[in-house]
């Protein structure tokens, strides 16, 4: 809208005057801080930034931002964002959601926003539990989870959100976690740069209803051994001495090996631009749950036509060909006759 | 009926003049009866008749061929005076097979004319239709004038010469029927010939087959010595102007485009395909030169969700659907009520509950539109009354939505959606502009004197809140489904604030009554005892029924509501003027319930839920019995 230089801002400029009401110790605080501290670096304007959400703890996020914001209804944020992003290409549209909001009640909207590649940055806080409704199991909870609604243990197989997004034809898929601000910011920055729908899963600790869900992989002392950073163009290695790596067997299976034994050349080099999502899918399933070495970072970032831009292109091409719409002509587009 | 031409050697057929005729084309779902009826209608419109149509087809695309369930019909009334309905009882039935005959025989005028495709009356087809014996020969049609025409074989014969295989030629038999009826009712020929050439331009062989079949039908009438006369229905006397023929869905789509122009707001339609609303999506998706964005969503919820997102961004957000879709959109509609954003939800009503009767009309969503949301969630409701009125109704719905920052439900139904009528084109330059009135500056000063923007500071007159799409520095704000503090819009759980907000939202919607046209009463003599109060697509039947009752010497008034919520400000005064208030509806009495509750009027309900419109005769009888019973 405005053409003058983007004013310099600080975290404070992106914080609203509303008191943050998450439980003390909630992982959401560090994600909020990461976003508020990143935005001054992105060269964007507050008035052109919109945070949209559905329902759940994560969905309160827009109230704490000093941008435009819309806290909507359960699961529908990607649908609402689609209408906003396609009519207002000048805006930065962020969707903040949770595992229940995005994968349960809103699963349909998420997968379709991803396949259409509508320009929006989706941050999905995954804490593997329902927080706002006080502790029922979620679609990412592990099997046999005992909660208020599953006193004998849950029966359903959980979703793997990264696998789901890849299966939904997402053009940008990443994972990060609430214990590492720098990794979050780098991942969010990449997601924001992406021209299309960007999906970021954020492992987030709910210290009230599912405390420590990710501590086996994100704890400071275990992180080096349990998180497998994906860096484009580099061999996929991890461990305190980067002594472990991922190799692909001849049957397509991925396996974690000692680099010394397998040889450096055998280690898989990460390519986030691969057209075929198969390898990214395999990487998303390196761990069976947050207790085994788990890949984080950008799984996939490919270029694909953005939905809103394509919609605008069709309109522009039609107007080029037919001229701007003429209402009088429209009403006369069928047969007409005159009565004297 | 007068005779305008006696038979001569050159013209062996007499020509009789009729003031009106009702024709029903009926055949198998795959026989092209809708196309035939459409074309007959279009040439009648160009000829200058008044007309009204009633497409009546099954939900199945191709139900089992030859069965009663698969019969598709198109009824059209053409007249030399202004008519309001497609006619109660057809004078002519064109039956392409035994099932079409059997399914429609019961609705015909006494002594009606039957034009049957005799080729289709073989043993197998008769059995499929459930005929034990052939009605053409067993005497059961003795009360009718029956013309047996071998439509299939004659069509195949003329197409063979053009190199069309008999099987393909068989599909052109509807054009034979069209040609024959066009001859019988002296319809202009050239427009249809031209239309066939254009419509099938990319399929020359099919175009040729259809043209030949059409001409063969015309020639058959002329030469077969089967018919003793032809008929003509002279042009009607219309007010001067330029006319076109529209269906309700087409007029509604055009009304939305017009409203987009009038408001300067880009039109965004979020929609999921559903009968009988899909044609609005189709029509708007063709009109990209108007900058219209159409989004075929993954479901009904995303349809309205995307429209809300577009409205938040400052576009004209619209979603179109039918009853089952309204069910799914209810939660999002409540959000729009709470967000107080302009939005139009178009409900093309059909028979319910559940999947119900997808292709048949009903008016049973009125109470759903009024009350179908949790919490106190009032919103304005506008209802279209004729196919062409859908244009005006769409503009009115947008005007209210934008001015009052509220979702509006626009009610139409399957009968209006697919029905067609001549429409005198409005002067688009005379349409009133709609001012979006976007917020452009802070509207409040906080405690320390800083100008701030309050998203829920209201206009004192309309009670509408400011509409501030993103992009303006200083107006950043957050809104949502949680209850908000009056003014600042911040989340508030304060009990008194909640009550204030509930009452404010209700007062805002109620106040729209001051801004809508009073309901007009048609009371010729000014001393009528009975008022027929209607809404929606029953308009034509009601006015026709009232005319008939008046012709019998009854003093009857009628009024038709367009604003269903809030009601026009003079409605109570109007209702109080009449001893008897009769409310015909295609439901079990929804408007009658509303007026009884609101005005303590002892309204009498006349209801019909057969998926077909009221006949004028049914309205007439109800008027007579209401007056007679009281006398």
pLDDT tens digits, B98-117: 999 999 999 999 999 999 99
Separation in Å, CA of B316 to nearest CA in chain A:
10
Question: What is the model's pLDDT at position B62?
Answer: 79
Tell me the β-bridge partners of A120: A197
- For the ranges A206-220, B5-19, B169-183, the lowest mean pLDDT is seen at B5-19
Q: Which residues of B touch A47 (CB under 8 A)?
A: 470-476
- Smallest CA-to-CA distance from A61 within A101, A89, A91 is with A101
* CATH tag for B244-430 (out of 3.20.20.370, 3.30.470.10, 2.70.98.40, 3.40.50.970): 3.40.50.970
CB atoms B310 and A335 under 8 Å: no
Per-residue DSSP letter, A151: T
Q: Which residues of A touch B261 (CB under 8 A)?
A: 327
pLDDT tens digits, A193-247: 999 999 999 999 999 999 999 999 999 999 999 999 999 999 999 999 999 999 9
CB atoms A87 and B310 under 8 Å: yes
Q: Which residues of A touch B311 (CB under 8 A)?
A: 83
Mean per-residue pLDDT of chain B:
95
Q: Which two tokens stand for residue A245?
A: 């790596």
Question: What is the model's pLDDT at position B1?
Answer: 65
Residue B151: alpha-carbon gap to chain centroid:
32
Coil vs helix vs strand at B116: strand
Q: Which two tokens stand for residue A305?
A: 């036509």
Q: Which residue has the tokens 């990319």?
A: B202
CB atoms A335 and B480 under 8 Å: no
DSSP string, B559-593: EEESEEESPPTTHHHHHHT-SEEEEEESSSSHHHH
CB-closest option in B257, B305, B339 to A327: B257
Question: What is the model's pLDDT at position B60?
Answer: 85
If you measure CA to CA, which chain B residue comes closest to A81? B309
CA angle B477, B481, B486 (to 5 degrees): 60
Q: Which two tokens stand for residue B190?
A: 């050239």
Superfamily the domain B2-233 falls into: Pyruvate-ferredoxin oxidoreductase, PFOR, domain III (3.40.920.10)
pLDDT of B157 over the 80 cut: yes
Q: Which residues of A touch B191 (CB under 8 A)?
A: 335
With a threshold of 0.90, tell me whether the complex ipTM lies above it: yes
Coil vs helix vs strand at B512: helix
pLDDT tens digits, A84-96: 999 999 999 999 9
Q: Which residue has the tokens 């522009």?
A: A316
If you measure CA to CA, which chain A residue comes closest to B306? A83
Domains B2-233 and B521-626 alike in fold: no
Query: Are A74 and A103 within 8 A, CB to CB?
Result: no
pLDDT of B631 over the 70 cut: no
Which of B285, B470, B483 to mutate: most A Cβ within 10 Å?
Answer: B470
Average pLDDT value for residue range B443-456 = 96
CB-closest option in A46, A76, A85 to B476: A46
CB-closest option in A51, A327, A337 to B258: A327
Q: Which two tokens stand for residue A206?
A: 């709910």
Average pLDDT value for residue range A136-142 = 97
CB atoms A86 and B295 under 8 Å: yes
Query: Are A79 and B305 within 8 A, CB to CB?
Result: yes
Separation in Å, CA of A121 to nearest CA in chain B:
15
Q: Which residues of B touch A67 (CB under 8 A)?
A: 476
Q: Which residues of B touch A84 (CB under 8 A)?
A: 309-310, 312-313
DSSP string, B202-250: T-HHHHHHHHHHHHHHHHHHHHSS--SEEEEEPPP-PPSEEEEEEEHHH
CB atoms A80 and B306 under 8 Å: yes
CB atoms A331 and B474 under 8 Å: no
pLDDT tens digits, A5-48: 899 999 999 999 999 999 999 999 999 999 999 999 999 999 99
pLDDT tens digits, B521-552: 999 889 999 999 999 999 999 999 999 999 99
For the entire predicted model, the pTM comes to: 0.94
pLDDT of A188 over the 90 cut: yes
**Phi, psi of B46, deg, nearest 5:** -65, -30
Q: What is the biggest distance separating any 2 CA atoms in chain A, rounded to whole angstroms?
A: 95
CB-closest option in A51, A323, A339 to B238: A339
- CB count within 10 Å of CB B529 equals 16
Size of interface A-B (CB pairs under 8 A): 208
Question: What is the model's pLDDT at position B630?
Answer: 44
pLDDT tens digits, A151-180: 999 999 999 999 999 999 999 999 999 999
CA distance A299 to B606: 65
Using the CB atoms, write b or e for A203-229: b if 16+ within 10 Å: bbbbbbbbeebbbebbeeeebeebbbb
Parallel, antiparallel or unpaired: strands B267-271 and B316-321: parallel
CB atoms A83 and B268 under 8 Å: yes
| pLDDT confidence tier of residue B4, bands split at 50, 70 and 90 | confident
Q: Which residues of B touch A325 (CB under 8 A)?
A: 257, 287, 289-291
CB atoms A86 and B238 under 8 Å: no
- CB count within 10 Å of CB A52 equals 30
Tell me the β-bridge partners of B452: B444
CB atoms A325 and B289 under 8 Å: yes
CA distance A259 to A267: 7
Confirm or reject contact between A107 and chain B (CB < 8 A): no
The domain limits of chain B are: 2-233, 244-430, 437-515, 521-626
- % pLDDT > 90, chain B: 92
| pLDDT confidence tier of residue B629, bands split at 50, 70 and 90 | low
**Domain B521-626 sits in CATH 3.40.50.920:** yes
CB-closest option in B295, B471, B478 to A1: B471
Average pLDDT value for residue range A264-291 = 97
- CB count within 10 Å of CB A5 equals 7
If you measure CA to CA, which chain A residue comes closest to B489? A63
Please report the domains of chain A, with CATH numbers, ordered by start residue: 11-213+305-314 (3.40.50.970)
CA distances from B107 to A63, B67, B89, B92 (A): 63, 18, 6, 11
Mean per-residue pLDDT of chain A:
97
CA distance B46 to B194: 13
- % pLDDT > 70, chain B: 99
Residue B38: alpha-carbon gap to chain centroid:
15
CA distance B342 to B261: 16
Confirm or reject contact between A119 and chain B (CB < 8 A): no
Q: Which residues of B touch A69 (CB under 8 A)?
A: 476-480
Q: Which two tokens stand for residue B292?
A: 């219209």
Average pLDDT value for residue range B74-93 = 95
| pLDDT confidence tier of residue B61, bands split at 50, 70 and 90 | confident
CA distances from B198 to A330, B195, B208, B211 (A): 19, 5, 12, 11
More confident residue, B631 or B468: B468
């Amino acid at each position: 809208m405005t053409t003058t230089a983007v004013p310099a801002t600080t975290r404070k400029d992106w914080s609203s005057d509303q008191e943050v009401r998450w439980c003390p110790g909630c992982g959401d605080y560090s994600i909020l801080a990461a976003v508020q501290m990143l935005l001054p670096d992105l060269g964007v304007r507050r008035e052109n930034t919109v945070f949209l959400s559905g329902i759940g703890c994560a969905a309160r996020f827009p109230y704490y931002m000093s941008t435009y914001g819309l806290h909507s209804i359960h699961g529908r944020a990607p649908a609402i964002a689609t209408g906003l992003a396609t009519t207002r290409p000048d805006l930065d549209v962020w969707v903040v959601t949770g595992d229940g909001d995005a994968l349960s009640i809103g699963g349909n909207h998420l997968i379709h926003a991803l396949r259409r590649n509508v320009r929006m940055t989706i941050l999905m806080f995954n804490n593997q539990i329902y927080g706002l409704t006080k502790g029922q199991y979620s679609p990412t909870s592990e099997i046999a989870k005992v909660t208020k609604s599953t006193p004998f243990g849950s029966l359903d197989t959980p979703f793997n959100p990264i696998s789901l997004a890849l299966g939904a034809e997402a053009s940008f898929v990443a994972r990060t976690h609430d214990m590492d601000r720098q990794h979050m910011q780098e991942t969010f920055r990449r997601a924001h740069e992406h021209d299309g729908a960007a999906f970021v899963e954020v492992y987030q600790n709910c210290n009230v209803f599912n405390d420590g869900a990710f501590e086996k992989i994100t704890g400071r002392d275990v992180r080096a051994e349990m998180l497998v950073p994906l860096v484009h163009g580099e061999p996929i290695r991890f461990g305190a001495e980067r002594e472990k790596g991922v190799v692909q067997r001849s049957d397509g299976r991925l396996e974690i090996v000692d680099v010394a034994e397998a040889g450096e050349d055998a280690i898989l080099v990460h390519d986030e631009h691969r057209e075929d999502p198969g390898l990214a899918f395999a990487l998303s399933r390196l761990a069976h749950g947050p207790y085994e070495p788990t890949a984080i970072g950008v799984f996939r970032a490919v270029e694909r036509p953005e939905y809103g831009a394509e919609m605008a292109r069709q309109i522009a091409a039609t107007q080029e060909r037919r001229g701007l719409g003429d209402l009088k002509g429209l009403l006369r587009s069928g047969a007409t006759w005159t009565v004297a | 009926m007068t005779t305008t031409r006696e038979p001569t050697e050159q013209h062996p057929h007499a020509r009789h003049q009729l003031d009106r005729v009702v024709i029903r084309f009926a055949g198998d779902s795959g026989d092209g009866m809708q196309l035939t009826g459409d074309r007959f209608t279009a040439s009648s419109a160009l000829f200058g008749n008044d007309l009204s149509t009633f497409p009546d087809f099954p939900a199945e695309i191709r139900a089992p061929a030859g069965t009663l369930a698969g019969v598709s019909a198109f009824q059209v009334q053409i007249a030399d005076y202004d008519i309001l309905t497609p006619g109660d009882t057809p004078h002519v039935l064109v039956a392409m097979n035994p099932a079409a005959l059997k399914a429609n025989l019961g609705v015909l005028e006494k002594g009606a004319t039957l034009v049957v495709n005799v080729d289709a009356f073989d043993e197998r087809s008769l059995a499929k239709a459930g005929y034990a014996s052939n009605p053409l020969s067993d005497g059961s049609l003795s009360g009718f004038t029956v013309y047996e025409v071998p439509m299939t074989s004659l069509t195949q014969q003329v197409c063979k010469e053009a190199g069309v295989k008999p099987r393909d030629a068989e599909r052109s038999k509807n054009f034979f029927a069209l040609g024959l009826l066009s001859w019988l009712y002296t319809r202009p020929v050239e427009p249809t010939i031209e239309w066939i050439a254009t419509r099938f331009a990319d399929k020359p062989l099919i175009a040729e087959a259809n043209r030949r079949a059409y001409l063969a039908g015309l020639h058959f009438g002329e030469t077969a010595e089967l018919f003793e006369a032809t008929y003509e229905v002279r042009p009607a006397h219309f007010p001067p102007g330029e006319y076109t023929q529209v269906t309700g869905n087409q007029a509604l789509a055009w009304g939305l485009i017009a409203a987009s122009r009038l408001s300067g707001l880009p039109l965004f339609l979020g929609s999921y395909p559903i009968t009988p609303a899909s044609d609005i999506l189709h029509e708007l998706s063709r009109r990209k030169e108007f900058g219209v964005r159409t989004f075929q969503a993954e479901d009904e919820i995303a349809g309205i969700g995307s429209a809300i997102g577009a409205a938040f961004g400052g576009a004209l957000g619209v979603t179109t659907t039918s009853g089952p879709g309204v069910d799914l959109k209810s939660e999002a509609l409540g959000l729009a009520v709470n967000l107080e954003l302009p939005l139009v939800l178009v409900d093309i009503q059909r028979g319910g509950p559940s999947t119900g009767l997808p292709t048949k009309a009903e008016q049973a969503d009125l109470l759903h539109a009024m009350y179908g949301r949790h919490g106190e969630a009032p919103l304005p409701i506008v209802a279209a009354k004729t196919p062409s009125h859908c244009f005006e109704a769409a503009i009115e719905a947008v005007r209210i939505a934008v001015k009052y920052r509220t979702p509006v439900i626009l009610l139409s139904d399957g009968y209006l959606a697919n029905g067609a009528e001549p429409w005198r084109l409005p002067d688009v330059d005379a349409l009133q502009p709609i001012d979006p009135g976007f917020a452009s500056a802070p509207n409040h000063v906080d405690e320390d004197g800083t100008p701030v923007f309050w998203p829920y500071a209201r206009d004192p007159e309309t009670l509408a809140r400011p509409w501030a799409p993103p992009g303006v520095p200083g107006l950043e704000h957050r809104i949502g489904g949680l209850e908000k503090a009056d003014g600042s819009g911040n989340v508030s759980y304060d009990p008194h604030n909640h009550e204030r907000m509930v009452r404010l939202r209700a007062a805002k919607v109620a106040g729209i009554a001051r801004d809508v046209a009073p309901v007009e009463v048609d009371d010729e003599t000014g001393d009528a005892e009975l008022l027929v109060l209607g809404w929606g697509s029953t308009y034509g039947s009601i006015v026709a029924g009232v005319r008939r009752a008046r012709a019998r010497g009854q003093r009857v008034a009628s009024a038709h509501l367009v604003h269903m919520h809030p009601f026009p400000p003079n409605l109570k005064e109007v209702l109080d003027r009449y001893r008897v208030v009769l409310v015909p509806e295609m439901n079990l009495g929804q408007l009658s319930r509303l007026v009884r509750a609101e005005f303590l009027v002892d309204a009498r309900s006349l209801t019909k839920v057969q998926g077909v419109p009221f006949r004028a005769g049914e309205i007439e009888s109800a008027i007579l019995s209401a007056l007679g019973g009281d006398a």
